[in-house]
Amino acid sequence: MLIQQPPTPLSWIGADRILLSVFVGLLLVGLVMVYSANLPLPSNNAESVFWRGMRGHPIHLLIGLAALLIMTRIPTAMLQSLSTPLFFLGIALLLVVAAMKIVLGPAIVKDGAVRAIPLGLFTLQPAELMKFFSLLFAAAYVVRRQDRMHTFVRGLLPIGFLMSLVMLLLLYQPDLGSTMVITLITAAILFLGGMSLRIFVPLLLALGVVFAVMVWLTPWRLMRLISYLSPCDPDQVQNTGFQLCGALIAFGRGGFFGSGLGTGIAKMGHLPLPHTDFIFAMMGEEIGFVGVTLVILAFAFIVRRAIEIGRIAMSQERLFAGLVAQGIGVWLGLQTLIHVGVNTGLLPTKGLTLPFISHGGSSMLAVCIAMGSLLRIDAENRQHVRGSKA
């Protein structure tokens, strides 16, 4: 009888080279586009340009890849046991951000919000890590309460209470985008884990009402919604409409094949945050319809592959691993969809990074951690198949 050996740290390299190649390709696209986005900044901001374009993003990549390698060595069974401590660690970090806002107030407010914890040369945004922590917690919760997911009191209510706390802490920053992503990821995992439709459908409707009320009661969010309907209207373009209007102009100038790398003009003050929230619009100008279509297809492949990896894990009766893999697919797909929708005018303006591409250390760290977990689950799937055949 052969003894099964656990997957080696590098076994995922031979597991799915296409998935790995697409992932690395997106990282390289991001490296080029972030550097291009920083080229036209004024000379008096040269130090910031050097940090963000030449040093910051590559360092973020190296940290993210190091985290990915670490995650490929952590068994999913260990992640399951750590899911609850990690979730409450995320809540503790969100409480730190809330305390900073209360104590320091206007001194640390940036663009109307406080979302990061300064750690010397690196700032940590707990909301980004909370996406992964919430995913793990929801998957472990479903496994523990598999026989109760069809009930409201014993199935939805306990996790609903905890997720409401997370939502309140995120909205206090405020960060509506991360709140929506985390809430929808959690809801998707509960549904995939067997939640009854008679509970899930009212849950989605209730969430829709809650988000609509938050937009209606918040003047700047309501203004964004109004400007979304006619962003280039003379009355709107001078206010919140200039973001979407600038993005649409960038796409129009890019045409089919783009204006060429580094030649875009929208990033020269016409397009806000071209290296983060509106990097897809900048890509549309410089690499055109063909380039951004290939990027979207790359994301679609990763999402489809994540769902497939999760399905295989579930067929092997590894429910937690399957839910985590499919949750990662939902996360990456949802965040990409929102980012692309905002940049193309299909959705109202909301700041969210494009996974693997946008500048941002916390975002890059979170998605690389998720990708490392996905590769680990894929390796364990293949190891399980080899063990069964032996």
pLDDT in tens, 152-163: 777 788 888 999
Residues 118 and 35 in one domain: no
Would residue 3 count as lying in a domain? Answer: no
Residues 260 and 187 in one domain: no
Nearest to 37 by CA among 265, 258, 253, 275: 275
Would residue 203 count as lying in a domain? Answer: yes
Task: Give me the mean pLDDT over the 314-342 stretch.
Answer: 94
Would residue 4 count as lying in a domain? Answer: no
Give yes or no for residue 97 having a pLDDT over 80.
yes
Residues 67 and 168 in one domain: no
Would residue 153 count as lying in a domain? Answer: yes
> What's the number of domains the chain is made of?
2
Residues 205 and 259 in one domain: no
Enter the pTM of the model: 0.89
Residues in the chain: 390
Residues 135 and 279 in one domain: no
Mean pLDDT value across the chain: 84
Nearest to 167 by CA among 177, 158, 157: 177
Residues 213 and 356 in one domain: no
Range of the domain at 353: 10-73+233-390
Would residue 223 count as lying in a domain? Answer: no
Instruction: Give the dihedral of Cα atoms 342, 348, 352, 356; nearest 10 deg.
Output: -20
Structure tokens at 252: 């129009």
pLDDT band at 230 (very low <50, low <70, confident <90, very high): low
Task: Please tell me the predicted confidence (pLDDT) of residue 233.
Answer: 66
Residues 371 and 243 in one domain: yes
Domain final residue, candidates 217, 252, 270: 217
Residues 121 and 59 in one domain: no
Give yes or no for residue 326 having a pLDDT over 60.
yes
Residues 238 and 376 in one domain: yes
Would residue 2 count as lying in a domain? Answer: no
Residues 178 and 248 in one domain: no
Classify residue 124 as left (phi > 0), alpha (psi -120 to 50) or beta.
beta
Give yes or no for residue 304 having a pLDDT over 60.
yes
DSSP three-state, residue 214? helix
Instruction: Tell me how crowded residue 301 is: count the other CB atoms within 10 A of its CB.
Output: 14
pLDDT band at 177 (very low <50, low <70, confident <90, very high): confident
Domain final residue, candidates 161, 187, 217: 217
Domain final residue, candidates 187, 217, 247: 217
